Amino acid sequence: MSERRYLTVTALTKYIKRKFDVDPHLQDVWLKGEISNFKQHSRGHMYFTLKDQNARLQVVMFAGQNRNLAFKPQEGMKVLVRGEVTVYEANGSYQMYIKEMQPDGVGSLFLAYEELKKKLSQEGLFSSEYKKTLPKYPCAVGVITSPTGAAVRDIITTLKRRYPLTKIIVIPALVQGVNAAPSIVKAIQTANKMPDLDVLIVGRGGGSIEELWAFNEEVVAREIFASKLPIISAVGHETDFTIADFVADMRAPTPTAAAELAVPHINELMERLSDRKFRLHSASNKLMQHYKDRLTALQKSYAFRFPKNLYAQKQQDLDRTMDDLEAAMKRMVERKHVKWEQLAGLLARNHPKKQWEAEKLTLEQQTKLLTKQMQQTLQKKQWEFQHKISKMDALSPLKIMNRGYSLAYQEDGTIIKNVNQAEKGDTIQVHLQDGRLECEVQDVKERKGND
Amino acid sequence: MTEKKDVTFEEAMKGLENIVEKLEEGDVPLEEAISFYKEGMKLSKLCHDKLSHVEAEMEQILKENGELESFQVQEDEA
């Protein structure tokens, strides 16, 4: 009879594990199933079971792999997974270590998402240099979302609680379904035409990848990029990231967080205002104190502390000056007096009375002489006058003509003194003492020596 | 300077901050400092009044025809 060999449990399990680990079909397995018994360890590792109608498989996804999941695994969710199958020796059970996971049925959506993300990123739509700055104190906030539902309520409630000063304008848009993307685009365009808006919140509450899909559409991404108003994206839950989130000027994990990012808290503003008021008082008081100190310093200076000294000095100066003035005046008066006396003496010696008497005598003499001279001159003039009158009387042509003489004149009034001044035929005038004759020359005869 | 009409909260806050910075520089002439202080107190009061006595703006919704209408959120969300 042959001897039977007995293996240990460990040995058998190790043998089976090695068989699994070297099997190429088990190193890279693609699997689909439904999630159940989902647990997430505090350190981030995920443990759950994948099952279908007839079987179930234990699954582990370590934190290193699940950290970048674009969705949150949930109980009952159908998923596609990729990983390796191996044996967990402690339990003697086989299990799968997952490297990748995505919701089943939306694999193509994920591929489209990744492709679009890569494309737009390379174009620079996600670049921080294009991010617009949010206004600190917006006057009006535009909210682009469904007018019904939790998101709009959370946004409005938060805005009003934090910053009642801001105006809220809801621009309704579809956020789910095939018409959602064009609706969101149109709402963003409309908002950019409204004059009063300062900032936009664009988003919706959480949902499945299909429900959020509008915010992964290229047209929405490009419209967010083109918006002149700064945009805060507020799509889904904490762990969801849509293309809209990457393009937006600011990403908020929830609609409530978006409202918190959009406006300041009124209590913060009150505190800041108090700080400004305090600093205003402090700076003013400091400045006033500075000027007051300078004034005090001046007041403490020698001149102000001992004004009497300054006064006394001036008094002394004044006394000395007055003494000098008095002495100078006295000297001047004395000099003037001396000069006056000299002039008075000189004046006395030249009293005008004597001169006056002498001049009076001269005047009497001159007066007599003048009278005599005047009489003589007058007589002489009278004699000369009479003489001239007589002479003129003798020469008067009227007197001569009175004796029968006449004067002949040419037509132009020129007196004729010789016969050559007239010609035969000339008309001449002959003046007599009582009138004149108009004559015509008949012949001219010149008187010769013996004629 | 004429009284500025309808100064926004942001403008008033900015103006107040500018005044505080100028006074804190410390080399302002006395009369100018007094003037700044008065203006600063006026702006401070304006900001405070806006924060304290603000009447909450009514939210509005944009209609298809482009008009704005008062908007009330449904409070009975289950």
CA distance A397 to A108: 163
Give me chain A's average pLDDT, please.
Answer: 88
pLDDT, greater one: A308 or A198: A198
- Can you tell me the mean pLDDT for B16-32? 86
CA distance B10 to B51: 12
Contact between chains at A153 and B57 (C-beta distance less than 8 A): no
CA distance A35 to A412: 163
- Can you tell me the mean pLDDT for A174-187? 95
Alpha-carbon distance A256 to nearest alpha carbon in chain B (angstroms) = 15
DSSP sequence for A214-237: GGG-HHHHHHHHH-SS-EEEEESS
Q: Which among A224, A254, A250 has a CA at the least distance from the CA of A239?
A: A254
Q: Which pLDDT score, from 0 to 100, does residue B2 have?
A: 41
Per residue in A206-243, pLDDT (tens digit) is: 888 788 899 999 999 999 999 999 999 999 766 678 99
Determine which of B61, B76, B77 to mutate to test the interface with A (most A C-beta atoms within 10 Å).
B61
Q: Which among A270, A206, A266, A293 has a CA at the least distance from the CA of A241?
A: A206
Cβ of residue A419 closer than 8 Å to a chain B Cβ: no
Please say if the pLDDT value at position A451 is more than 50: no
Q: Which pLDDT score, from 0 to 100, does residue A450 have?
A: 52
* Range with top average pLDDT, A125-134, A265-274, A396-405, A418-427: A125-134
CB-nearest to B61 from A172, A194, A290 is A172
Q: Give the ipTM of the model, two decimals please.
A: 0.71
CB-nearest to B20 from A150, A157, A279 is A279
Per residue in A181-204, pLDDT (tens digit) is: 999 999 999 999 998 899 999 999
Please say if the pLDDT value at position A112 is more than 70: yes
Cβ of residue B13 closer than 8 Å to a chain A Cβ: yes
Determine which of B7, B20, B27 to mutate to test the interface with A (most A C-beta atoms within 10 Å).
B20
Contact between chains at B23 and A287 (C-beta distance less than 8 A): yes
Q: Which pLDDT score, from 0 to 100, does residue A143 have?
A: 97
CA distance A362 to A237: 147
Show Cβ contacts of residue A176 under 8 Å, excluding neighbours closer than 6 positions: A146, A204, A207, A211, A214
CB-nearest to A276 from B17, B30, B74 is B17
Cβ contacts (< 8 Å) between B16 and chain A: which residues?
273, 276, 280
Q: Which pLDDT score, from 0 to 100, does residue B5 have?
A: 56
Alpha-carbon distance B2 to nearest alpha carbon in chain A (angstroms) = 23
Cβ contacts (< 8 Å) between A137 and chain B: which residues?
8-10, 13
3-state secondary structure A267-323: HHHHHHHHHHHHHHHHHHHHHHHHHHHHHHHHHCCHHHHCHHHHHHHHHHHHHHHHH
Residue given tokens 């379904």 in the structure block: A177
Q: Which pLDDT score, from 0 to 100, does residue A238 have?
A: 61
Please say if the pLDDT value at position B75 is more than 70: no
DSSP sequence for A380-417: HHHHHHHHHHHHHHHH-HHHHHTTT--EEE-TTSPBP-
Q: Which pLDDT score, from 0 to 100, does residue B3 have?
A: 46
